Amino acid sequence: MKTKEVTLYICEHCGKKYQREKACLAHEAMCYHNPENKTCCYGCKFLEKVAATHYYNYGDRLLEKKVNVFRCKKKGVYLTPPQYDNDRYDLHAENVTMPAECAEYVWQYAKG
Ligand SMILES: [Zn+2]
């Protein structure tokens, strides 16, 4: 039998374990349990997933790509999860970060 002591990197927010520090740091930035990623949008009846067009530059050309994005039916804006703040789609329309708290929130299963 062989034994080996290893260093494990553990997510501060959810406890997931990694053997590589970089992988753990990348996970922590995206982790849904990270308070910086908190959003009240999931579970709200106004949240919908829709197809949209993302515009991006490739050299000096403007290209388009079909993407699926979140949208708030109540506010009429596209929503980007906080984890993707620095990597958001250019939809040529208002595209805001999902809020941590929202006065318009209504639970998706609420009656009426
Ligand atoms: Zn985590």
pTM as predicted:
0.81
The Å distance, Cα 7 to ligand 1 centre, comes to: 17
Question: 2-61: per-residue pLDDT in tens?
Answer: 999 999 999 999 999 999 999 999 999 999 999 999 999 999 999 999 999 999 999 999
HSE-CB for 84 with a 13 A CA cutoff: 14
The Å distance, Cα 22 to ligand 1 centre, comes to: 13
Residues with CB under 5 A from ligand 1 (ion): 11, 13-14, 16, 31
Q: Which amino acid is at 33?
A: H
The Å distance, Cα 48 to ligand 1 centre, comes to: 25
